[in-house]
């Protein structure tokens, strides 16, 4: 797989909430391409966004503690390699304008991506992770919960708002793991307004519900599945299919694109339960299940 370089944008441009009109999609609409795990390419009003970059492949795709195992919380988990079960489908873009990071765990920003990513690329991340990312040399800026960043894209306006991501329903474990970010992405282009909620590793916990209360309807909800941690010392730290179905029922989006499943051996559950729940309930929202590398258009 060819490792393509990111477009380097000046720090002042990001601080002003603007990007240069250098990245143009050349196609109408908002496009979302799933690359496995929590990694997405999003083309919105000519702005090219990459989420949670992970490029490792094979039996040692990334190295991280294993949340599915029992361990002494005071000592930490067994740090070991984790396998990617599917081939990486490759990047569709030669340049990106922005990286969104839900949190800095290695299954969301792996060692291969950290080595590959240009340290100057604008990267929005949770406040919890920003200092460590900067120590590694990345041009990370914190987007605090409720804060928004507006980007004057080549073909319109893109607004990114941070939403809390609660990694565990156990308050003690949630405090250990720290709050991450989900992101509301609102795109205004061609006389239309479209809204995406990429949830990050979260449950539909009270801080999330409060942040989303009163929001306009969603065109696309992107939940993280996998039921990671069930049976381990941390307990469950990502949603299972039933929880995602309930979350979607509350939000009532036009469509749901589940991610964070199937790609890694780390995941304990695929999307089959969500497919079954959707078929049984016949909700108004459409379930989108593209193959890795598949793209959907809003």
Q: pTM for the full model?
A: 0.92
Average pLDDT per block of 10 residues along the chain, 298 residues long: 32 35 55 98 97 98 97 94 98 92 98 94 95 96 98 96 98 96 97 97 98 96 97 97 98 98 98 98 97 97
Cβ-based neighbours of 37, under 8 Å, separated by 6 or more: 52, 54, 107, 108, 259, 260, 263, 264
Do the bridges between strand 295-297 and strand 31-34 make them parallel or antiparallel, or are there none, so unpaired? antiparallel
pLDDT for the residue 29: 80
- Residue 199 to residue 95: CA distance in whole angstroms: 24
- Residue 256 to residue 220: CA distance in whole angstroms: 6
pLDDT for the residue 98: 96
Cross-strand pairs, 79: 65
pLDDT for the residue 28: 66
Cβ-based neighbours of 269, under 8 Å, separated by 6 or more: 225, 226, 227, 240, 241, 261
pLDDT for the residue 14: 37
């Amino acid at each position: 797989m060819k490792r393509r370089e990111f477009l380097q944008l000046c720090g002042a441009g990001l601080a002003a909430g603007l990007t240069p009109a250098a990245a143009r999609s050349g196609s109408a609409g908002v496009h979302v391409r799933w690359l496995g795990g929590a990694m997405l390419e999003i083309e919105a009003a000519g702005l090219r966004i990459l989420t949670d970059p992970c490029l490792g492949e094979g039996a040692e795709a990334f190295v991280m503690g294993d949340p599915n195992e029992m361990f002494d919380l005071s000592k930490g988990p067994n740090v070991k390699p984790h396998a990617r079960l599917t081939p990486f489908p490759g990047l569709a873009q030669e340049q990106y304008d922005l990286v969104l990071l839900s949190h800095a765990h290695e299954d969301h920003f792996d060692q291969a991506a950290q080595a590959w990513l240009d340290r100057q690329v604008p990267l929005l991340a949770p406040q919890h992770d920003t200092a460590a990312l900067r120590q590694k040399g990345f041009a990370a800026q914190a987007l605090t919960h409720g804060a928004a960043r507006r980007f004057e894209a080549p073909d319109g306006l893109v607004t990114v708002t941070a939403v809390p991501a609660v990694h565990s329903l156990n308050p003690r474990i949630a405090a250990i793991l720290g709050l991450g970010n989900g992101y509301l992405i609102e795109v205004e282009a061609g006389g239309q307004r479209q809204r995406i909620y990429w949830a990050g590793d979260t449950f539909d916990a009270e801080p999330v519900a409060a942040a989303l209360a009163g929001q306009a309807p969603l065109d696309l909800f992107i939940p993280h599945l996998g039921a990671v941690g069930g049976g381990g010392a941390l307990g469950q730290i990502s949603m299972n299919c039933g929880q995602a179905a309930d979350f979607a029922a509350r939000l009532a989006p036009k469509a749901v694109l589940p991610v964070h499943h199937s790609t890694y051996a780390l995941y304990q559950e695929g999307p089959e339960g969500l497919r079954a729940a959707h078929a049984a309930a016949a909700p108004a929202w459409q379930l989108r299940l593209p193959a890795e590398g598949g793209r959907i258009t809003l």
